[in-house]
Amino acid sequence: MSKDVAIIGVGQSAFVRSYQGSIRELAFEAFREAMQDAGISTGDIDASIICSAPEYDNQRSPSGIIAEYLGLNPQPTFAVESVCSSSTTGIRVGYSMIKSGLHDLVLILGFQKMSEISSADSQERMGRGADIMWEAPFGTMMPAYYAMHAQAHFASYGSTEKDLALIRVKASKYGILNEKAVYRKEVKLEDALNAGMVASPLKRFDCCANADGASCIIMASQARAKEMAKKPVWVLGLGSATASMTLTGRDALNGLTCARVAAEKAYAMAGVTPRDIDVAEVHDCFTIAELMAYENLGFAGPGQGAELIRAGETYIGGKIPVNVDGGLLSKGHPIGATGGSQVRTIVQQLRGEAGAIQVPNAAIGLVHNIGGVGVYGNVIILGR
């Protein structure tokens, strides 16, 4: 279990439906918190990686604008994009830079200001995250894609709409406690079950909301981490995988192969198994995505994920607490910032700094971040 690269600072803006400032101001909110958390100055940063999905704002090449505004010039800055998994891809790149010896301290900042365009335009851009020759022209949208995954899971394993509603109820319980979440209201089981249909079987509460937000992660080499950080959190394992852009190229629809393969790689690198994970953040853009993640990550066998939520095993105090910050379903989903927000939650858990949502004695945590409709999969394992 290698401890060569650590996370020494984490930050996040509030996730909101409509941020009134510019993208550079939004980025600064996460940056400021991370820098204060790490106790460092801009002069300590060797390089920055800016992560976002394109076409949500008018600024071409926003990485240069943001690096300038944050005072990071003349150190190099880079742009990284893998749609919804952009900031965990940035973390993978940052890890590689440090391991290679090119840099000792790397800042990864993810952001998205999705309110710059209308909901209809946003959905159209998300649809073009699929193959623009064979799928997007037919009007495919994110809820419809994940509805197909839900239908396949139901048909294969007998999971139900109630199982999905139970996941939303859990998300709301913890979202209420997250001051940076968009949605901080209780969702009762009957409300989730009786909500309006979006794409069968997914209803309104089965879907996360678009949001504006930013996240910031500061990574350091072993030597710098031991010198600078009181509670470094170590990167134990990284796994990534990519699947067919079109659903017709997938081997199955009742799970995400990219997540399963990425998890296998991360577990192997970290030298741990699913049973060793104390707390997890998974990419619950839709309730079915969390259910599939239980199985793809090995927390349950194929078709057995529903048993975890039915028994309350993914709550704090259960077998494997999942998304105890409310997940995307409560926090919202500012595409480029989402993965960094997940990492921030796990870092706070491993430091014992998660307050009302603290999982007792959490020592090893996992982040599962998906880009597109199961196209890109990143899994990161972190340890005290």
- For 289-330, the pLDDT digits (tens) are 999 999 999 999 999 999 999 999 999 999 999 999 999 999
What mean pLDDT do residues 106-123 have?
Answer: 87
Q: CB of 296 within 8 A of CB of 256?
A: yes
What are the structure tokens assigned to 6, written together? Answer: 């650590």
Residue 161, amino acid: E
Answer yes or no: is pLDDT of 126 > 80: no
Specify the pairing of strand 233-242 against strand 279-281. unpaired
Least confident of 95-104, 243-252, 271-280: 243-252
Residue 357: name the closest of 380, 319, 327, 383 by CA: 327
- For 200-242, the pLDDT digits (tens) are 999 999 999 999 999 999 999 999 999 999 899 999 999 999 9
Residue 154 CB contacts under 8 Å (≥ 6 apart), including other chains: 160, 201
pLDDT range class, residue 135, cuts 50, 70, 90: confident
Q: CB of 322 within 8 A of CB of 282?
A: yes
- For 7-54, the pLDDT digits (tens) are 999 999 999 999 999 999 999 999 999 999 999 999 999 999 999 998
Identified catalytic residue from 51, 84, 208, 258: 84
What mean pLDDT do residues 126-130 have?
Answer: 72
Please give the pLDDT value at position 88.
98
The question of whether 258 is a catalytic residue gets the answer no
Identified catalytic residue from 103, 153, 283, 333: 333
Please give the pLDDT value at position 75.
98
Q: CB of 70 within 8 A of CB of 42?
A: yes
pLDDT range class, residue 141, cuts 50, 70, 90: confident
Q: CB of 114 within 8 A of CB of 334?
A: yes
Question: Average pLDDT, whole number, for the chain?
Answer: 95
Domains defined along the chain, listed by start = 5-118+211-233 (3.40.47.10), 141-208+234-383 (3.40.47.10)
pLDDT range class, residue 1, cuts 50, 70, 90: low
CA–CA gap between residue 329 and residue 185 (Å, rounded): 11
- For 42-54, the pLDDT digits (tens) are 999 999 999 999 8
The question of whether 333 is a catalytic residue gets the answer yes
Residue 223 CB contacts under 8 Å (≥ 6 apart), including other chains: 104
Cα-Cα-Cα-Cα dihedral of 101, 271, 337, 42, to 10°?
-30
What are the structure tokens assigned to 293, written together? Answer: 């993640």
The answer to pTM > 0.85 is yes
